[in-house]
Structure 1
Amino acid sequence: MKSIYLDVLIVLNIYVNFFLLRATARFTHTPLKTSRCVVSAVIGSVFSLTILLPLSNFFAVLAIKLIAAAVIVAAAFGIADKRQTLKLILYFYIVNFVFAGVIMVLYLTFKPSFMAFNNSYFYVDFSLISLVVFTAVGYFAVTAVRYFMDKGCDTSHHFKVIIRYQSDIFSVDALADTGNSLVDSFSGKPVIICPSESFKRFEEVYDEITAENAVNLYENYGIRLIPYSTIGNSGLIAVFSPDEIIITDEETGKKFKAEALIGINPKDTPAIFNPKILC
């Protein structure tokens, strides 16, 4: 192919970046607003212009890809939590690498006249309808894979959630329930709902957990308030970020390290977590 049209290149990569971000969000169970996904995809499309650069150094190309991944992920998901951000960058880079690998194989195998590949970016000169169909099929495939992975999560077992927070260690009986879909929109982490009686260190502030005291709660106890909604009920729930969470399957003995927030439930019930945390 002798010519590369910049408008086609930009539009193509906006679509591809949108798909890659959605795939990353799907695999990590991280919420992603459509508006942020679109903006991030547009920002990422700018990096596709490096296809025009005469780069031959592998490390230079790798550095550009790493920088691009970090910028795109930060724009899409934010950088509230460093560990979560690094995890998202890793997943985004893996998805990107696999996708680019497939395109590279097609390019080297068939050498199509309508495709160009350089600096790990590709250019395909085809119709917009074909592009939409291609993206939809790809996202459907990723969704199907994630669905079957989640389906393999066994929710019938009994679990125990072990929480380490500063000098304290809490152990709470827990149930896996898909009904708990609560996610903190700020950090992107799921929330494990635990009974308040498990956390004796917070007893003195239970009566002070109100929206008016939100700043004081966070500064003195590391507690934040986030909105929740259930059938016929909604409000604010107190959450905190522990140093470590281990979920143990009481029947198999398997242990899972979880990245989540702990929500404080005033009712005396077992802890409830979404089984997707285990997958």
Structure 2
Amino acid sequence: MRQVVYIDEVLIVNLAMNLTALWLTSRFTGNERSFARMLAGAAVGCIYAFLVLWPGFTMMLHFFAKILVATLMVVIAFGFRSWRKFIRQLGYLFLSSFCLGGIATGLHYLWHTAVIDLENKLGLGEFNKWAVLTATILIAMFLGHWGVTGWRKGSAQIATKIPLTITFWGKKVSVLALVDTGNQLIDPLSQHPVIILEYEVLKCVLPEELYGAFGEGTGNTILAVSNTPYANRVRLIPFQSLGQDHGMLLGIRPDEVEIQVRDTPQRVTNVVVGVYHQQLSPEQSYRALLPPRLLVS
């Protein structure tokens, strides 16, 4: 029996699976990801799949060729910062690919009801590849979103103090932050997690227009900064605490936050800094509260 391979289907399936594998890799490693860069990395995998099917390119099946292609995918999608990060990303890419392949194979067998005999060899009959592909990606997205979030929370070290370096308009401030599992604050506008920081630490890096405004209270601050270039960075974050059911916390979006996780700097930009006007620790052993979801074990 002659087997027909449709190149367009191969490329579409490979692009979708490669993109999903790179997305899972970014979730597990906590790297900032650009969709365009991940798409370019996935396209490299598609080119590889095309060459494998092309006559005369059997050398692409070699073990080292596969490693080279995976390396290119990682570098294109996430860049190269250090060997440690690169090897970690490469490992998670292979792990994600194996998981996706296992899910797709399991769904393939689960949905089959017919078995055919091809020249005395048992095999599976026709199947809906698009249904398998869609279900595989949906399962991967579920695991990548909720699974990784739960894994990070479980692996976060409770009551651990971690060094932070927060950058505002090019100025840096370094503090010790307590990993606080009770800090589940979310900026309602961007849905980014919130780091709580003492105002006394923050005020030394604030622009002159914000220095006084942030010490006046929530309502006055919004009015004071509304006509300044910094208005788009100011946030209002709702919170609940003992004795205060509908509180509002002032927040500000930083340039970036560098978290020192196990001697490895992790840079985060999708975060908001909430301003707290009292001391977080009576002994001043820490000056910020860090949500566990920002940690990557």
Same fold at TM > 0.5: yes
> What is the aligned-residue identity percentage?
16
SS in 2 for 1:2: coil
- 8 Å Cα contact 2:159/2:178 also seen in 1: yes
Matched position secondary structure for 2:22: helix
Residues of 1 paired with 2:76 and 2:288: CA distance?
33
Offset at residue 14 of structure 1 (A): 0.9
Equivalent position to 2:266, from 240, 260, 263 = 260
Once the 2 structures are TM-superposed, how far is the Cα of residue 127 of structure 1 from its aligned partner?
4.7
Structure 1, unaligned runs of 5 or more: 115-124, 165-169, 182-189, 199-204, 210-226, 247-255
Q: What's the secondary structure of 1:21's corresponding residue? A: helix
Alignment match, 1:70: 71
CA RMSD, Structure 1 to Structure 2 (Å): 4.7
* Contact kept in structure 2, 1:237 and 1:265, CA below 8 Å: no
- When the two structures are superposed, what TM-score results if normalisation uses the length of structure 1? 0.56
Distance 2:68 2:29 in 1: 21
Amino acid at match of 1:3: V
For the 8 Å contact 1:228–1:236, the answer to whether it is kept is: yes
Given candidates 132, 136, 150, the residue that maps to 2:152 is: 150
SS of aligned partner of 2:32: coil
Q: In structure 2, what is the Cα distance between the partners aligned to 1:238 and 1:196?
A: 17
Partner of 1:90: 91
Find out whether 1:231 has 2:240 as its counterpart.
no
Q: Does 1:272 align with 2:286?
A: no
By how many angstroms is 1:172 displaced?
A: 2.8
Give the whole-Å Cα distance in 1 for the aligned partners of 2:290 and 2:18.
31
Residue equivalent to 1:112? 124
Q: Tell me: CA distance 1:24–1:14, structure 2 relative to 1, closer, same or farther (3 Å).
A: same
For 2:163 and 2:199, locate their aligned partners in 1 and report how far apart those are by CA, in whole Å. Answer: 15
User: Take 1:110 and 1:100, find their aligned partners in 2: how far apart are those partners?
Assistant: 21
Which residue number corresponds to residue 128 of structure 1?
130
Q: Kindly indicate whether the alpha-carbon contact (under 8 Å) linking 1:191 and 1:262 is maintained by their aligned counterparts in 2.
A: no
Partners in 2 of 1:50 and 1:16 — Cα distance?
Answer: 17
Q: 1 CA distance for matches of 2:196 and 2:62?
A: 44
Structure 2, unpaired ranges of 5+:
110-120, 166-173, 188-192, 209-231, 238-249, 281-286
Stretch deviating more after TM superposition (263-272 or 36-45): 263-272
Aligned counterparts, 1:193-232, within 5 A: 230-231=235-236
CA separation of 1:229 and 1:38: change in aligned 2, threshold 3 A:
farther
* Cα drift, residue 6 of structure 1: 0.7
Contact 2:164–2:258 (CA under 8 A) maintained in structure 1: no
Identify the residue that residue 187 of structure 1 maps to in structure 2: none
CA deviation string 1:97-126 (max 9, x = no partner): 34446667979x974366xxxxxxxxxx74
Deviation at 1:27, TM superposition (A): 1.7
Shift of 1:76: 2.3
1:21 aligns with 2:22: yes
Letter of the structure 1 residue corresponding to residue 178 of structure 2: A
Contact 1:180–1:272 at 8 Å: present in 2 too?
A: no
Q: Alignment partner of 2:179: what SS?
A: strand
Matched residue pairs, number?
Answer: 222
Amino acid at match of 1:112: L
- Residues 196, 289 of structure 2: 8 Å contact kept: yes
Aligned to 2:179: 175
Which has more radius of gyration?
2
| Structure 2: distance between partners of 1:16 and 1:24 | 12
CA distance in 2, matches of 1:63, 1:197: 55
Distance 1:150 1:9, change over 3 A: same
Deviation track 1:29-68 (CA, whole Å, cap 9, x = no partner) reads 333333433333233211112432677789x632222222
SS of aligned partner of 1:48? helix
| Distance change in 2, residues 1:93/1:4 (3 Å) | same
In structure 1, what is the Cα distance between the partners aligned to 2:21 and 2:122?
24
